[in-house]
């Protein structure tokens, strides 16, 4: 762990020397190579939900959780293969360094409404997302090292802020390569070591079936029913978040050329497939190892099964490798926190403060202000994480993260998608799409699941998919009606 933190501080120190202006701070001067961009994208998209949340889902649901791996793989593939190049070309043409920059230029916005709504949505949901990662930090330190949860959360918060506040996006991208590599190694070693250490690996499938046959049913414990289809839809649609989420698309903005995208897409897809499939597999192996047919898996493996990886590491691996897994979990968490903090900082410092409130401010002053904003946002996220931990002790990391992920995705992905591939998309259509997506997330998270009889279907489909669809519809309808009104006016 000491070596891990030392490397992060070293990256922050070296990166600080390369941050000359605001473009360097927020998009690395648009000079990233494909390896850095691909690893950074994957490490940011993985977060704590892969190592803790997705392994837990594998333990609770069995092979059913592979639907999540498929959904994320499809989303990542469409993002890199279909959307990355058009987005890169347009952001270079507009000289954009934030997603709100791109949107305002793309629609030749007549006011700052679009930028303001985008920046507000980013600030809010990013803070939720970051707080979920800080929450996972506290849980990791508490479980591995028997630290007090709050001490661990605060310690993790201080580490991230220290190395990335000065190095900005350059530090974030370089550290993501380092941290992504640790995650990949961790997800490779554990299942291989487990299968090597048991007498008969072929007996694992029989043992899992004896525990609960539903663990090997791709349709889940209910079989092929309307409810299982709703759950599968919710799992698959998590991948929609890859179709325009700013924390991922800023990597396309920062890569140095479209040629690098052609190389980077294969790295990103390979990492996504391996990491997510391995995470679910680790969860299934942990369920086999730690539980019997009469055990309650939640009681043994923790809420949502999210302690399964930690328990496997503690029991099976020597201390040196246990230290590696502590670093791997922290890497998953911190690689997402740093990316999100830079994103939220850009929304407030660049999009609100510079572009709306003080358009004449120089970039030199903005760079200093950006670092202060980064610290304030991270502190607010820390407070939120601690508050949620006190109010909801039975929360799960997976669904806490997914709410923040869904909020960002439903607000931005439909707008980015339509803006790239539909010339008829208008500024008013974009504003309505963002607002509807933004507002629908809490609606489908908290209101629709409470509807008698049918609420359970909304609960399992989750909030992202219906919010995404409604946002798309609003964007199309308002854009078309705007065009009609303009023609009538002419």
Q: How far apart are the first and last CA of the chain?
A: 67
H helices of 95-112, where? 99-106
If you count DSSP H runs as helices and E runs as strands, how many of each does the chain have, helices first? 21, 0
Helix (H) or strand (E) holding 171: helix 149-197
Which tokens hold the place of 324?
């590696």
Which tokens hold the place of 21?
């202006």
What's the pTM value of the predicted model, to 2 decimals? Answer: 0.86
98: number of Cβ within 10 Å? 26
Cα distance between residue 30 and residue 255, in whole Å: 5
Q: What is the pLDDT of residue 398?
A: 56
211 to 10, 349, 450: CA distances (angstroms): 47, 54, 33
The β-bridge partners of 301 are none
28 to 16, 17, 164, 182, 352: CA distances (angstroms): 11, 12, 12, 23, 21
350 to 48, 102, 339, 413, 416: CA distances (angstroms): 28, 13, 16, 21, 20
Chain position carrying tokens 């929609």: 240
18: number of Cβ within 10 Å? 15
Q: What is the pLDDT of residue 485?
A: 66
Helix axes 84-94, 397-421, angle to 10 degrees: 70
* Regions of the chain with pLDDT less than 50: 490
Strands (E), 256-344: none
Q: Which domains does the chain have, with CATH numbers?
A: 2-489 (1.20.1730.10)
Handedness of CA 469, 471, 472, 473 (dihedral sign): positive
CB 307 within 8 A of CB 286: no
CB 448 within 8 A of CB 458: yes
Which tokens hold the place of 239?
């991948």
Closest CA to 430 of 482, 364, 367: 482
Cα distance between residue 345 and residue 350, in whole Å: 8
Q: How many residues does the chain have?
A: 490
Q: Could you tell me which residues come within 8 angstroms of residue 80 by beta carbon, excluding any fewer than 6 positions away? A: 261, 264, 265, 268, 269
163: number of Cβ within 10 Å? 23
CB 182 within 8 A of CB 331: yes
Phi and psi angles of residue 255, each rounded to the nearest 5 degrees, phi first: -70, 150
Cα distance between residue 139 and residue 133, in whole Å: 10
199: number of Cβ within 10 Å? 5
CB 247 within 8 A of CB 340: yes
Strands (E), 179-259: none
Residues 158-209: tens digit of each pLDDT: 877 776 665 566 767 787 788 788 888 888 989 998 888 887 777 888 899 9
Q: Could you tell me which residues come within 8 angstroms of residue 290 by beta carbon, excluding any fewer than 6 positions away? A: 300, 301, 308, 311, 312
CB 242 within 8 A of CB 415: no
Cα distance between residue 167 and residue 1, in whole Å: 21
């Amino acid at each position: 762990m000491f070596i891990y933190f030392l490397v992060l501080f070293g990256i922050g120190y070296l990166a600080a020397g390369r941050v000359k202006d605001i473009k360097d701070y927020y998009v690395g001067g648009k000079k990233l190579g494909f390896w850095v961009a691909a690893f950074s994208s994957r490490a940011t998209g993985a977060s704590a939900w892969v190592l803790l949340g997705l392994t837990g889902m594998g333990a609770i649901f069995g092979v059913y959780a592979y639907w999540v791996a498929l959904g994320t793989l499809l989303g990542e593939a469409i993002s890199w293969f279909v959307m990355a190049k058009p987005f890169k070309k347009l952001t270079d043409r507009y000289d954009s360094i934030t997603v709100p920059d791109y949107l305002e230029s793309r629609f030749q916005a007549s006011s700052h409404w679009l930028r303001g709504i985008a920046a507000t949505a980013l600030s809010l949901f990013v803070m939720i997302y970051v707080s979920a990662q800080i929450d996972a930090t506290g849980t990791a330190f508490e479980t591995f090292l028997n630290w007090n949860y709050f001490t661990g959360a605060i310690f993790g918060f201080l580490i991230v802020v220290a190395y990335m506040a000065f190095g900005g996006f350059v530090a974030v991208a370089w550290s993501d390569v380092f941290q992504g590599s640790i995650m990949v190694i961790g997800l490779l070693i554990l299942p291989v070591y487990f299968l090597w250490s048991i007498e008969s690996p072929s007996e694992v499938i029989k043992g899992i079936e004896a525990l609960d046959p539903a663990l090997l049913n791709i349709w889940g414990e209910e079989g092929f029913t309307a409810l299982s289809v709703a759950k599968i839809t919710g799992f698959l649609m998590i991948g929609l978040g890859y179709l325009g989420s700013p924390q991922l698309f800023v990597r396309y903005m920062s890569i140095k050329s479209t040629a690098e995208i052609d190389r980077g897409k294969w790295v990103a897809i390979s990492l996504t497939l391996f990491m997510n499939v391995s995470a679910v597999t680790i969860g299934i192996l942990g369920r086999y190892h730690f539980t019997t047919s009469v055990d309650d898996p939640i009681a043994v493996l923790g809420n949502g099964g999210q302690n399964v990886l930690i328990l496997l590491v503690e029991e099976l691996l020597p201390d040196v490798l246990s230290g590696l897994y502590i670093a791997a979990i922290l890497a998953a968490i911190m690689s997402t926190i740093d990316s999100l903090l830079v994103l939220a900082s850009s929304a407030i410092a660049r999009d609100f403060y510079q572009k709306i409130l003080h358009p004449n401010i120089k970039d030199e002053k903005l760079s200093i202000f950006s670092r202060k904003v980064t610290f304030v946002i991270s502190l607010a996220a820390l407070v939120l994480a601690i508050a949620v931990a006190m109010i909801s002790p039975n929360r799960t990391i997976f669904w806490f993260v997914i709410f923040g992920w869904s909020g960002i995705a439903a607000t931005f992905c439909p707008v980015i998608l339509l803006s790239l591939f539909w010339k008829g998309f208008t500024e008013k259509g974009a504003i309505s799409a963002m607002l509807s997506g933004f507002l629908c997330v809490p609606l489908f998270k908290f209101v629709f699941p409470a509807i008698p009889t049918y609420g359970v279907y909304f609960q399992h489909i989750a909030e992202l998919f219906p919010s995404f669809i409604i946002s798309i519809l609003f964007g199309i309808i308002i854009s078309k009606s705007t065009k009609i009104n303009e023609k009538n006016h002419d």
